[in-house]
Amino acid sequence: MAADILTTAIQTIRSEAQSVAALTAFINDNFEKTVTAIHQSKGRIIISGIGKSAIIAQKIVATFNSTGTPALFMHAADAIHGDLGMIQREDMVMILSNSGNSPEVKALVPLIKGFGNRLIGMVGNTQSYLAAHADFVINASVVAEACPNNLAPTNSTTAQMVMGDVLAVCLMELKEFTEQDFARYHPGGNIGKRLYLRVEDMYKINPKPCVQLITPVKEVITEISRNRLGCTAVLDEANSLIGIITDGDVRRMLEQHDNISLLQAKDIYSKHPKIIAPQALAIEALNVMKKHDITQLIVVDNNVYAGVLHLHDLLREGII
């Protein structure tokens, strides 16, 4: 029984993967014209479907909206009961339907055409009613479903979702959609924080440990312990940053010296500390920490020591 389950699982994955790979044959001039038409449209794109296709349509709407292409979902069954009112003059409409011949689609298509809106049909049957009446056709055909009875929408809905992603990515390229644009639409959650949260949003709540070159080591240890950042900045007589002392530096000192009473900060500090600007993105700070295998960065603002950013700050904000 277990072997049968594993075999079925692998066959299903392979079947869906093959169906997706076969979609490359449908990326042609017609597809390019469809993408161009959406890009040049002055309105939104209304995406509709029935059954499982309606669920995929909602996913495509969400992807479009988050990547700079305004979109709305309209259920094909609800459309003829009032939801047609959401369609504006300059909007385009895209209907997803594997068969392209469902009663809801046949009822909806002439109404949309009567409004004068351009219609895109994403179909699994290019000889269908929807394909015949659409201004643009996106071919999302599959040879068969992964379902052993070739009935449950599996490969066909996967193909629709992939084609939706392909449309979204192509439109992103045409719009030159950047990380900054993405951040504007995703201000919440960890994705948003990775794209907009900056060092200056985190380090200012931390203490600002510092010592002078001539500070006795015992006071250095106290400064590090009191501020709980695992380090302290080392400043010269003009209060310019010249180095750092970390927990690691203290441990190495204790391993090498039995008597530390005469030692000063200048005897154990590390020159050229890793620094970061307040305006740098939090994700940039994380990458620097990873690259150098460290847990703190000295924040420097216009060549002036401003504070310390700790790995825990990034953890607290969900960057990691």
- Residues 265-311 have pLDDT tens digits of 999 999 999 999 999 999 999 999 999 999 999 999 988 999 999 99
Confidence check: pLDDT of 191 > 80: no
Confidence of residue 320 (pLDDT cuts 50, 70, 90): confident
Domain boundaries, the chain: 2-177, 199-316
In sequence order, what are the beta bridge partners of 275?
298
Q: What is the pLDDT of residue 193?
A: 75
Where b means 16+ CB within 10 Å and e means fewer, 257-267 reads eeebeeebbbe
Is the alpha carbon torsion for 177, 180, 181, 183 positive or negative?
A: positive
Over residues 9-40, the pLDDT tens digits come to: 999 999 999 999 999 999 999 999 999 999 99
Give residue 73's pLDDT.
98
* pLDDT at res. 37: 97
Q: Give the pLDDT score at 120.
A: 98
281: tokens are 């993105």
Structural tokens at position 78: 């609800």
Average pLDDT over residues 170-175: 96
pLDDT of residue 238: 87
Q: What six digits make up the tokens of 202?
A: 């985190």
Sign of CA dihedral 22, 27, 28, 30: positive
Percent of the chain with pLDDT over 90: 89
**Contact call for residues 223 and 244 (beta carbons, < 8 A):** no
Predicted local distance difference test score (pLDDT) of residue 110: 97
pLDDT given for residue 195 in this prediction: 76
Q: What single-letter amino acid sits at 172?
A: M
Which residue pairs from 101-105 have beta carbons closer than 8 angstroms and sit at least 24 positions apart in sequence? 101/125, 101/128, 101/129, 101/130, 102/50, 102/51, 102/76, 104/50, 104/76, 104/77, 104/80, 105/50, 105/76, 105/129, 105/130
Mean pLDDT of 121-134: 98
**pLDDT score for 2:** 66
Q: Provide the pLDDT for residue 237.
A: 87
pLDDT value, residue 160: 98
Q: For the chain, how far is it from start to end, CA to CA, in angstroms?
A: 41
Q: State how far the Cα of 59 lies from the Cα of 159, in Å rounded to an integer.
A: 13
Question: What is the per-residue pLDDT for 54?
Answer: 97
pLDDT above 80: residue 197: yes
Q: What is the dihedral of CA 223, 228, 232, 238, to 10 degrees?
A: -70
| Percentage of the chain lying above the pLDDT 70 cut | 98
Point out which residues pair with 231 in neighbouring strands: 246
How far is residue 233's CA from residue 304's CA, in Å, rounded to a whole number?
12
Is 75 flagged in the annotation as binding? yes
**Predicted confidence (pLDDT) per residue in 64-113, tens digit:** 999 999 999 999 999 989 999 999 999 999 999 999 999 999 999 999 99
CATH level 2 (architecture), domain 199-316: Roll (3.10)
Q: Which residues on adjacent β-strands are paired with residue 49?
A: 75, 96
The rounded distance, in Å, linking the Cα atoms of 119 and 122 is 10
pLDDT of 1 > 90? The answer is no
Q: In this structure, what is the dihedral angle of CA atoms 223, 298, 241, 236, given to the nearest 10 degrees? A: 10
pLDDT at 318: 85
Instruction: Describe the crossing of helices 29-40 and 155-175 by its angle, rounded to 10 degrees.
Output: 60
Alpha helices in the chain (DSSP H): 2-22, 29-40, 52-66, 76-79, 103-115, 129-133, 155-175, 179-185, 189-196, 217-227, 247-256, 265-268, 282-292, 311-316
Question: Residue 218 CB: number of other CB atoms within 10 A?
Answer: 11
**What mean pLDDT do residues 57-67 have?**
96
What CATH fold (topology level) applies to the domain 2-177? Rossmann fold (3.40.50)
